[in-house]
Copies of this chain bind each other. A is one copy, B any other.
């Protein structure tokens, strides 16, 4: 069944989860597709349809029990345990990522960070120490890490990708502004702020 669920639906589940956690912090115990939709700018029908792929989570009239729906989404997304993550690149961006508390709060643990710059190696970054990139394969294998974030310059990104996959990495979030080649079964997710900005500029008056 999982294979038939559209990728775009899966992509919205983390957004629902994030908002449910926000509702919990606001000390709410129940919500509805209407309330979630209003808060997220998504139609309530869309939310109901998305969730219906995975079962019946709400009751007519009373809506969703937040704690229960949160638990179910964590199960669906395989987030009932923490996932270790390797960061490659300890420049400004790697530094920002290693220090971002959102990973720890939402299912991930930054387990190691690598660089090839002697000035960075050995430096403390959050609770981590920057390791030499030559230790990448051994550390990832030892810790059985499946997830990595690439924060290296574009020209190094494919080489690092190849090494990560060889070492056992199954999913990569990359900030390098370059398309990466990877075998089937390896997930790649891109983040390029310039692409996002350029897209928005299209919609602005040109002066």
Contact = CB atoms under 8 A, between A and B. Distances in A.
B198 A106 contact: yes
B198 A14 contact: yes
A100 interface: yes
Given A14-B194, A19-B179, A96-B93, A187 B203 contact: yes
Given A178-B22, A198-B14, A171 B97 contact: no
A17 interface: yes
A196 B202 contact: no
A41 interface: yes
Given A22-B178, A100-B92, A178-B22, A146 B196 contact: no
Given A92-B95, A171-B204, A11 B199 contact: yes
Contacts of A78: 201-202, 204, 206
A13 interface: yes
Contact of A39 (B95, B179, B193, B197): B179
